[in-house]
C-alpha cells in the first residue's frame, strides 16, 4: 500500500466539519468515473495511533463522480477528547482509497493532521 509522505495540517474547532479532502485515484484516466469497485474509508487516530473515530465508508463524491470527498462529521469531531490546557490537540485523519479488481489491486493511504481546538463561544 502506498502512503503519501506530505502531511498537511488543518486547524478546526471541535464539533465542526473536518476539512473536505478530494481523493482521486491517480491510475484513472482524466475523464474516467469512479465505479462501484472503488471504495474509500476515513478514520481518526490519536497521537498513539489509537482510533478515536472508527473507520467508516466515504460515499460522497464530487459532482463529476471522479473523486471521493472525505470529511469527518461534526458529531465525529465533537466526540474526541482534547488535551486539557492546550490550544489544540493533534489527531491523524487517515483516508484509504482502494480497488481490489485492478491488477495489481490498488490501495493508497493519505494522512493529514487535524489540530482540533476547543469549541468556540
What domains are defined for the chain?
2-25+36-117 (2.60.40.10)
Q: Using DSSP, state whether 74 is helix, strand or coil.
A: helix
Q: To the nearest whole percent, how much of the chain has pLDDT over 70?
A: 93
pLDDT attached to residue 1: 54
Between these two residues, 20 and 2, which has the higher pLDDT value?
Answer: 20
pLDDT attached to residue 63: 93
Whether pTM > 0.85 for this model: the answer is: yes
**Residue 65 in this model has a pLDDT that exceeds 70:** yes
CB atoms within 10 A of CB 95: 21
Amino acid at each position: 500500500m502506498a502512503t503519501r509522505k506530505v502531511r498537511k495540517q488543518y486547524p478546526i474547532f471541535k464539533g465542526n466539519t473536518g476539512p473536505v479532502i478530494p481523493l482521486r485515484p491517480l491510475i484513472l484516466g482524466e475523464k474516467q468515473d469512479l465505479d462501484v469497485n472503488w471504495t474509500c474509508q476515513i478514520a481518526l487516530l490519536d497521537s498513539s495511533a489509537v482510533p478515536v473515530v472508527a473507520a467508516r465508508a466515504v460515499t460522497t463524491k464530487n459532482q463529476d463522480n471522479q473523486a471521493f470527498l472525505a470529511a469527518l462529521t461534526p458529531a465525529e469531531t465533537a466526540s474526541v477528547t482534547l488535551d486539557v490546557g492546550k490550544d489544540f490537540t493533534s489527531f491523524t485523519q487517515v483516508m484509504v482509497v482502494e480497488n481490489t479488481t485492478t491488477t495489481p489491486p490498488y490501495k493508497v493511504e493519505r494522512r493529514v493532521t487535524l489540530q482540533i481546538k476547543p469549541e468556540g463561544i
